[in-house]
Amino acid sequence: MKKNLLVLLVLVMVFFAAGMLLCRPTTIKENKNESLKPNENQSADFHLAYSMKKESYGDIEKNSASDFDDPSEGKIYGGIVSHHLLAADEIARFFSAFKAQNPKTIVIIGPNHFNIGKGDILISKYPYQTPWGTVYPEEKYIDGLLDSKVLSNDETPFAQEHSISALVSFIKYYIPDAKIIPIIVKRNTKRERVEVLAENLNKILPGDAVVISSVDFSHHLDETSANFHDEKSVSNIENFDYDGVLSSEIDSPPSIYALLRFLEFRGAQKMAYKNTDSAELTHREYSDDVTSYLFAHFTKGGVQENKKISILNFGNILLEQNAGQFEKINPFEKIKGREGNFLRGVDFILADLAGTITDSKDCAGKARSFNSNIASLISKSGINMINLADDHMNDCGEEGIVDTKNYLSKNRIDSFGTSPVENSYTEKEADGSKIAFVGINATNHSGNLKQYYDLIKKLRETNDYLVANIRWDNESDNNLSSAQKDIAHSLIDSGADLVIGYGPYAIQPLEIYKNKVIFYSLGDLVSDQTNKNANNGLGVGTVFSKDGTRFYLFPYDINAYQPALLPPEKATIFCNQYLNDVKNANRCYFEVRPE
């Protein structure tokens, strides 16, 4: 009996000890590589900096003010900074600019990377331990924000959230007396809630408070792709284009949105910035896993308008006898990139559709007809515009054309390029600029090309930019013809800013004519062609602005219907050959400035 009681007592003690372990506070951030523990007089209710090793923060004691700042600009009201410690020296320079200003309250708004916690917008009330001491929360203003009900307190996510913990050591070192208000936001937080957050920050915070957005930019791409995406992301921020910000290829659009709205309320919209990336900082130009960064300070002043429109053009979606393969594979899976980042954050992403989309029984078995599933796959990939100026668009008659437009529209994809000429174009707006896209069918039964020239002249009068997308007559001939050149030159003469050609299975050369660029053929995007010239293609990223037009090239291979970007080193080899005659080309990038 005594033996049984003893066993029972031991079991009770084991369960009690286990319960204590399971129920202990989860708000202490554990770090097996660090030795910091609360002392006898210290509360366990705190978080730890991302690292407790001083060397993790770069040359923090030697870094001086940012190289993009002018001290005469005055007080800094807010900023954007990376939380990637690979860029520690740049982060240090960003925060060192606040030493003289010495703000007493700093709000950090960053992404909730792990999408955990009870609420879309969360706030922490705990201090942070750093290698240079403790950073304390500004409880008075935190309580005021909690009273607004726009956010809630949940410490659990902050225990592992590096968008906050990576920055607190810099704050403690450069602004030792500052108190912080840490806020994290889930990516899909509704715009209305972020708007209310910004309003309450403006209402509650004192005049000397600083709001900082802790956000990294392009992820998991090569440097050319990162630079292309960053051009538009930075433009969206610089122009306070809120719609553009929310669709940018960055890790927390809501965090940037909240910052910009706060700055607008405070009349501080003048931005000085530096844009760089991990490949540049580490001198690894052929890395295919680049993270890019924006370091920005905002001072009093209005928006410095530098509007930009970004476009990503691809070639033909072409399947002859194997259209049914779309039911088995996603042809866009590889080119989307990790997390789908490549086909994101661009105003307009276009491809040419060589066939119709229809479920009509009358069209069953046609060489180039796709079932409605293809429209959904195109939309999910990120492609948001389709050129229909193709000779195979008539394979299923008028019914096929109507079905194609309807399926694309239902999947939020714009289309253009069908006949007659008055239906061949669409006009769009992005970042306050207007752009027209014209789809031209130059095959034998296309009609009079002069009608397109006249249309372009007319559209040019009401648009800032115009892109002509043309389907050539020689789809089986991969050699550039004199007829192609004559037509392309006439399109430029009529007012086109850029000509993109389709039809030939292979990539054809580019030409710069009257300071405008003509890409004669981009090859295929998705293809079941087996000849040696049909297993690759070229994506063209274009950024229009008042300062000129910039081009980013993205060569890819096609295997089993799926295009995949070439590794950076192979892409550079291709671009060096393709851009051999372009004077200012740099690897896969070149620009054309206004005459």
0.85 cut: is pTM over it?
yes
CATH of the domain at 557: 3.60.21.10
Say if residue 276 is in the same domain as residue 343. Answer: no
Distances (CA, A) of 514 to 203, 236, 546: 54, 30, 17
pLDDT tens digit sequence for 422-445: 889 999 999 889 999 999 998 865
Residue 60 lies in a domain: no
Both 293 and 153 in a single domain? yes
The per-residue pLDDT for range 36-48, each reduced to its tens digit, is 443 333 346 999 9
For residue 410 the two structure tokens come to: 């239902």
Residue with tokens 């609420």: 119
Among 250, 268, 299, residue at a domain's last position: 299
Q: What percent of the chain has pLDDT over 70?
A: 86
Q: Is residue 379 part of a domain?
A: yes
Least confident of 169-178, 218-227, 392-401: 392-401
Tell which of 253, 272, 299 closes a domain: 299
What is the structure's pLDDT at 140? 95
Domain match, 146 and 290 both: yes
Cβ atoms within 10 Å, residue 548: 13
Q: When comparing pLDDT for 477 and 341, which is higher? A: 341
Please tell me whether residues 535 and 390 are part of one structural domain: yes
119 and 231: one domain?
yes
Same domain, 362 and 451: yes
Whether 234 is covered by a domain: the verdict is yes
Domain end marker among 299, 319, 352:
299
Contact present, 335 and 353 (Cβ < 8 Å): no
**Bridge partners, 522 (sequence order):** 507
CA distance 419 to 423: 6
d(CA 335, CA 380): 12
Rounded Cα gap, residues 273 and 239, in angstroms: 13
Which tens digits make up the pLDDT trace of 253-311? 999 999 999 999 999 999 999 999 999 999 999 999 999 999 999 999 999 888 899 99
pLDDT attached to residue 323: 53
Contact between residue 556 and residue 538 where contact means Cβ atoms under 8 Å apart: yes
**503 and 537 fall within a common domain:** yes
Q: In 239-346, where does DSSP find H-type helix?
A: 242-246, 253-265, 278-282
pLDDT tens digits, residue range 519-565? 999 999 988 766 555 688 999 999 999 999 999 999 999 988 899 99
113 three-class SS: coil
Instruction: Please give the full DSSP string across 459-495, using - where no structure is assigned.
Output: HHTT-SEEEEEEE-S-TT--SPPHHHHHHHHHHHHHT
**317 in any annotated domain:** yes
Mean pLDDT calculated for residue range 42-59: 87
Q: Residue 52: inside a domain, yes or no? A: no
Q: Is there a single domain that holds both residue 169 and residue 251?
A: yes
Q: What span, in angstroms and rounded, lies between the C-alpha atoms of 536 and 314? A: 11
One domain for residues 333 and 257:
no
**Residue at 561 is within a domain:** yes
Q: Do 403 and 466 fall into the same domain?
A: yes
Question: Which residue bears the tokens 């995406």?
Answer: 229
The span from the CA of 30 to the CA of 130, in Å, is 14
Q: Which domain holds residue 370?
A: 308-592
Evaluate whether residue 222 is within a structural domain: yes
Domain count, the chain: 2
| 325 found inside a domain | yes
Q: Is residue 323 located within the same domain as residue 231?
A: no
Q: Which long-range contacts (CB under 8 A, 24 or more apart) does 508-515 make?
A: 508/478, 508/480, 508/484, 509/480, 509/578, 510/578, 510/579, 510/582, 511/485, 512/582, 512/592, 513/488, 513/489, 515/592, 515/594, 515/595
Regarding whether 488 and 391 lie in a shared domain, the answer is: yes
The conformational region for residue 261 under phi > 0 = left, psi -120 to 50 = alpha, else beta, is alpha
CATH number of the domain encompassing residue 222: 3.40.830.10
Q: Whose CA is closest to 222, among 579, 569, 538, 578? A: 569
Closest CA to 234 of 191, 277, 190: 277
